[in-house]
Amino acid sequence: MIRPLYIALIILLSPLRALTQQTQSPFTCPTTEQAMREVEHQLWSAARSRDAAALDKLVDDSFISTDDGGVRKGKQELLGDIKKPEGNVHNDTDEQPADIRLVFTNGVAILNFTKHWTDYDKKAGISFGGTSVMTRVFTCKNGEWKLVSFHETGIPNRTRQPSTSAVDHLDDYVGHYRLGENGEKGEIFVVRASDKLFEAWPGEEPVEILPGKYDTFFTRQDGWVERFVRDKSGKITGILYTHADGEIEAKRMP
């Protein structure tokens, strides 16, 4: 009696065991932050040394990327760029990522982090840089993480230093401005507090605006650039806001 009961129990548990196996984690790749840091460093090293063969092994055939300028590329375009001579502009990034956020889900690893980058124009002898939030998406294949997607978003004015040339004439910019010919689209107020300027848009808290060169200002919150417009006499008559494909103009009220 014991043997038939045992066999019946095995038959009863078999579907449950199969279901358990199906619901177990699909990962066969290491799921630790250190493992993903190592893969990220391999990608950084391959790009830095322009090693197309190493990059080919790390990147999945279905790879697609979007850079901070909105340019999309597939794997072959990526490898083609690496194989070309570098040209006049040399790009350099921090070796190690910062502010890491990491998620593992359904056989996919999503690595989100920040890095500072610098472009050097060897011909002109100048450099410029910034900080970006980068997201890499990996898929697990045959026990190895393969890069399947990359996306970069620039953080506006993260480390940009304000100009000191505007400090002596901050009062020039203080005033009441309006959007639209009759102010029907809202009003903007620019106020001074000590050696700082603050700008308030309709329904929003005042934000500090930092001086650039030639009557331009910027903020840490977004990528807008604003330029105070002067007339022939040098008097401020308005503000021109520029961002991506758009421009907005606010006229100064008397």
Q: What is the domain partition of the chain in residue ranges? A: 33-155, 167-252
As given in the structure block, the two tokens for residue 123 are 């011909």
Query: In this predicted structure, what is the pLDDT of residue 13?
Result: 38
| pLDDT tens-place string over residues 81-112 | 999 998 888 899 999 999 999 999 999 999 99
The structure tokens 């840089």 sit at: 129
- Measured in degrees and rounded to the nearest 5, phi and psi for residue 146 equal -120, 135
Class of domain 33-155: alpha beta
Answer whether residue 235 shows pLDDT above 80.
yes
Mean pLDDT for all residues in the chain: 87
Give the integer Cα–Cα distance in Å for 99 and 167.
34
Statement: 167-252 belongs to CATH 2.40.70.10: no
Which of helix, strand or coil describes residue 134? strand
Answer whether residue 25 shows pLDDT above 60.
no
List helix spans (H) across the chain. 2-23, 33-48, 52-58, 75-83
In this prediction, residues 18-47 reach a mean pLDDT of 78
Query: In this predicted structure, what is the pLDDT of residue 132?
Result: 93
Answer whether residue 154 shows pLDDT above 70.
yes
